[in-house]
Amino acid sequence: MKKTWWKESVVYQIYPRSFQDSNGDGIGDIPGIISRLDYLQKLGVDVIWLCPVYESPNDDNGYDISNYRGIMDEFGTIEDWERLLDGLHSRGMKLIMDLVVNHTSDEHAWFVESRKSKDNPYRDYYIWRDGKDGKEPNNWASIFSGSAWKYDETTDQYYLHLFSKKQPDLNWENEKVRREVYDLMTWWLDKGIDGFRMDVINMISKVEGLPDGEGESKYKDGGKYFMNGPRIHEFLQEMNQEVLSKYDVMTVGETPGVSPEEAALYVGEDRGELSMVFQFESMDIDSGPGGKWFVTPWKLLDFKRIMSKWQTDLDGKGWNSLFLNNHDQPRMVSRFGDDGKYRKESAKMLGTLLHTMQGTPFIYQGEELGMTNVKFATIEEYQDIETHNMFNEHREAGRSVEDIMASIYSKGRDNARTPMQWDATAHGGFTAGTPWLVVNPNYKEINAEEAMADPDSIFHYYRRLIELRKQHEVIVYGKYKLLLEDHEHIYAYTRTLGDERLLVILNFFATPVTFELPASVGYRTYEQLIGNYELPEGTRLEQMELRPYEAQVLRLS
């Protein structure tokens, strides 16, 4: 594996709306982020991924962009943004920006023009079609519920929107669109940023003719006609040649529905496309046949199989990203750990996993504090468009409010979007005003101030995990090998680089369990590098009693 800075980095994701409010309007902003840079430096992260801060009517919290070269008023000014970049660079940290170019806002100047007339120069920037027998051009469902098409009276045609109706899809078949995208990327790169996270980048190439999807529901999943489409790799290679290859940057593509074989095409080191992708196989592990909202219990055996497949299939070919939550997913401690009695132990255990596999770890804001899911009593307290659209659709289909709320409690995106919990003062120190989304009521016990003061906190454990990565190359580049494949409670593996060898042992549950090191793993002695419990003297790896959610990283020699 070629060595590069982004393989050796830890990324921290900031959702600006919920990070830190500086002026009391209840909305996080760039000056707020700047005021917390010392906190991030203390944690030790190398790269910040900033979710969209561009001008936006906020139908989808900034993922609907109306001007790619301007900063959203609520977040500050371009001068604030410049100060943020300087503040990061002067601390030795890097900045990657969110690139959302599968779609724009319907308030973007291109779309405002495009919808005016069929012969407008911008018409072909978007995907317009005639209706079929008085209905939508095809039967695709929007990822945010309902049809993926919106009728527009002015020209008596429909436009495609895979997400909300205020997020029309760009037409990547149009060379001018691609040129616009490359220009705006260059504009930001020339300001000195260090890369991009690319929103649903595997959806930009659609199959010609936009064929109907299949399925039971009224509107159907058209995924196979817009995910990993026919020209996707051509577009990404062009983008790389025209833009990315001219800079030393990292890129991470958000690619729902991609398998490791497909991922190798995006991140293969000789392919000239992306540095890494986010895979969602592990995020679908608790989705029932009805989709993400019909939650079914996940199993450790599936989890290990998926994670291990990505570890081994990409090894030597391309690079992995490592994450278990983000701004679209529930909090990982609530989903894969225990957010009650063993919150601290399980959060550290999951952190141990993420920071000792091959790939670049991504920490989502608040993860380092063990922030948890939230349960608001009524739908009105939720803000997320996906959640609201789903609520309405499922109500119309006759599902009970109680049932739908249960889905939201386990899977809703606002679980991750409640404001950062900085201290025990009102609204967790996030704002002096009224927060745009209610702060999780557990902020009095779970907050950064408390965590910084407690040497045994999740925060300090993460800090040490990040430090370890800097000290041991094997953590970054070592080969991964799964042990005890069929064990239903323990996740264990080795990492090997030259003669350096690590053994990672994780009890994924609250029940104590005995770990027995397979005879195939020979060693003379071991040394604990990190663990969420002290290791009793004389512990034998051949028979080791694991406590609830115990995690141990041992160096074998």
Binding of residue 393 to ligand TEU (CB under 6 A): no
Encoded one letter per residue, x for contact with Ca ion by CB under 5 A and - for no contact, window 251-290 reads ----------------------------------------
Binding of residue 386 to ligand TEU (CB under 6 A): yes
User: How would you classify the pairing of strands 287-288 and 551-556?
Assistant: unpaired
Residue among 215, 219, 207 at smallest CA distance from 135: 219
Query: How far is 148 from 126, CA to CA, in rounded Å?
Result: 13
Least CB distance to Ca ion at residue 5 (A)? 33
169 binds, among ligand TEU, Ca ion, none (CB under 5 to 8 A by kind): none
163 HSE (CA, 13 A, CB side): 27
48, 200, 236, 353: residue in contact with ligand TEU (rule CB under 6 A) = 200
Least CB distance to Ca ion at residue 25 (A)? 4
Instruction: Report the site for ligand TEU in 312-331 (rule: CB under 6 A).
Output: 327-328
Q: Which is nearer to ligand TEU, 43 or 283 (CB)?
A: 283
Binding of residue 80 to Ca ion (CB under 5 A): no
Q: Which is nearer to ligand TEU, 64 or 550 (CB)?
A: 64
- Taking a C-beta distance cutoff of 8 angstroms, is the pair 225, 207 a contact? yes
Residue among 470, 487, 346, 425 at smallest CA distance from 7: 470
| Cα separation values, 395 from 162, 391, 392, 403, 411, Å | 22, 6, 5, 10, 17
Residue among 392, 372, 388 at smallest CA distance from 332: 372
Residue nearest to ligand TEU (CB): 63
Q: Which is nearer to ligand TEU, 335 or 343 (CB)?
A: 335
Tokens of 462: 């993460």
Total residues in contact with ligand TEU, by rule CB under 6 A: 14
Residue among 96, 222, 42 at smallest CA distance from 149: 222
Binding of residue 100 to ligand TEU (CB under 6 A): yes
29 binds, among Ca ion, ligand TEU, none (CB under 5 to 8 A by kind): Ca ion
Bridge partners of 504, per DSSP, are 493, 553
Binding of residue 256 to ligand TEU (CB under 6 A): yes
In the residue annotation, 254 being an active-site residue is answered as yes
Per annotation, catalytic residue among 199, 273, 286, 345 = 199
Encoded one letter per residue, x for contact with ligand TEU by CB under 6 A and - for no contact, window 276-305 reads ----------------x-------------
200 binds, among ligand TEU, Ca ion, none (CB under 5 to 8 A by kind): ligand TEU
Binding of residue 450 to ligand TEU (CB under 6 A): no
What are the contacts of 186-191 at 24+ separation with CB within 8 A?
186/243, 187/68, 187/69, 188/97, 189/243, 189/246, 189/247, 189/249, 191/82, 191/85
Least CB distance to ligand TEU at residue 370 (A)? 22
314 binds, among Ca ion, ligand TEU, none (CB under 5 to 8 A by kind): none
Encoded one letter per residue, x for contact with ligand TEU by CB under 6 A and - for no contact, window 150-179 reads -------------x----------------
Q: Which is nearer to ligand TEU, 89 or 150 (CB)?
A: 150
Dihedral angle sign, alpha carbons of residues 486, 537, 476, 278: positive
Query: How far is 309 from 504, CA to CA, in rounded Å?
Result: 17
In the residue annotation, 59 being an active-site residue is answered as no
Query: How far is 491 from 337, CA to CA, in rounded Å?
Result: 13
Binding of residue 196 to ligand TEU (CB under 6 A): no
Q: Which is nearer to ligand TEU, 177 or 458 (CB)?
A: 177
Instruction: Report the site for Ca ion in 6-45 (rule: CB under 5 A).
Output: 21, 23, 25, 27, 29
Directed axis angle between helix 175-190 and helix 232-242, to 10°? 40
Q: Which is nearer to ligand TEU, 399 or 489 (CB)?
A: 399
27 binds, among Ca ion, ligand TEU, none (CB under 5 to 8 A by kind): Ca ion
Binding of residue 143 to ligand TEU (CB under 6 A): yes
15, 19, 49, 63: residue in contact with ligand TEU (rule CB under 6 A) = 63
165 binds, among Ca ion, ligand TEU, none (CB under 5 to 8 A by kind): none
Query: How far is 220 from 544, CA to CA, in rounded Å?
Result: 51
**Secondary structure percentages of the chain, helix, strand, coil, to 5:** 35, 20, 45
Q: Which is nearer to ligand TEU, 213 or 256 (CB)?
A: 256
Residue among 64, 46, 40 at smallest CA distance from 54: 64
Match 């160096």 to its residue by tokens.
Answer: 555
Per annotation, catalytic residue among 21, 64, 254, 273 = 254
Bridge partners of 291, per DSSP, are 288
Query: How far is 196 from 437, CA to CA, in rounded Å?
Result: 27
Q: Which is nearer to Ca ion, 29 or 60 (CB)?
A: 29
295 binds, among Ca ion, ligand TEU, none (CB under 5 to 8 A by kind): none
Least CB distance to Ca ion at residue 410 (A)? 30
Residue among 481, 483, 556, 550 at smallest CA distance from 516: 483
Helix H, strand E, coil C: the string for 5-28 is HHHCCCEEEECHHHCCCCCCCCCC
Query: How far is 513 from 448, CA to CA, in rounded Å?
Result: 32
Q: Which is nearer to ligand TEU, 101 or 448 (CB)?
A: 101
- Taking a C-beta distance cutoff of 8 angstroms, is the pair 66, 105 a contact? yes
Q: Kindly list the catalytic residues.
A: 199, 254
Q: Which residues bind Ca ion (CB under 5 A)?
A: 21, 23, 25, 27, 29
Chain positions contacting ligand TEU, by CB under 6 A: 60, 63, 100, 143, 163, 199-200, 254, 256, 292, 327-328, 386, 413
